[in-house]
Amino acid sequence: MAMKANLAEWVGAVGAVGAIAAALFLQLWIPFWRRPKLRIRSGTTPDPVSDADNDGIQGEWWDIPVENRGRRDTALAAQVMLTAVESRGPAPPPELRVPLRSLKWTHLQNAQADVPAGVRRSVELGKVKPKGKGLLLLGVFPPLRHSKRGELSEGSYRLEFAVVARNARARYYRLDLDLRDGTLHFPTEMIEQRRQQAARASVRS
């Protein structure tokens, strides 16, 4: 009888430990499974949209799509931060002072937005205005008033971004672009970088 009692106690103890381990596992795994996953899809290049401002001057807007590929949770206060701008032309300017701010979400007057699971939104990389002969005005937010620091003239550039949210892991991307003849050209697609590979901000804010 004593052996049966000891065996029952041992089985009960093992079952209790197993139940606790399962509960802890679920507490850790379910939030991980539900968490948002912000991505700029592999192979992406910005999409052009032609439009005119209130002044009637035709311009070309370039948007970057961002998708929450998580299963359940909304990405809270998501933003795409401009972390570096580097001139890569044969004769780069001696100093390129682009403000390192977040990009504005398309159709929103804000650099932060909630992105539900399975939803794709876009941020404004910038606009070329007038179309076909203007400079690239980066879509940083808040916008710069009475300053040309957010403008890029004709040339080749490398831009780096961090896609972040309050409840999501940050991801890092790099994009090369050429501005010539008043429009943008992309010699490579958007490339995702590991955190340790992401270059430090090479431009002072």
Among the listed residues 138, 166, 147, 145, the one whose alpha carbon sits nearest the alpha carbon of residue 82: 138
The pLDDT value given to residue 198: 53
The pLDDT value given to residue 97: 72
The pLDDT value given to residue 70: 87
In whole angstroms, what is the distance from residue 136 CA to residue 157 CA? Answer: 11
Q: Where are the beta strands (DSSP E) in 73-146?
A: 75-87, 102-103, 113-115, 120-129, 135-138, 140-141
The answer to whether the CB of 179 falls within 8 A of the CB of 157 is yes
Class of domain 38-197: mainly beta
pTM of the model: 0.76
The pLDDT value given to residue 16: 59
Give the chain's residues under pLDDT 50.
25-26, 29-30, 196, 199-205
The pLDDT value given to residue 26: 47
The pLDDT value given to residue 33: 52
Among the listed residues 87, 75, 94, the one whose alpha carbon sits nearest the alpha carbon of residue 167: 75
Length of the chain: 205
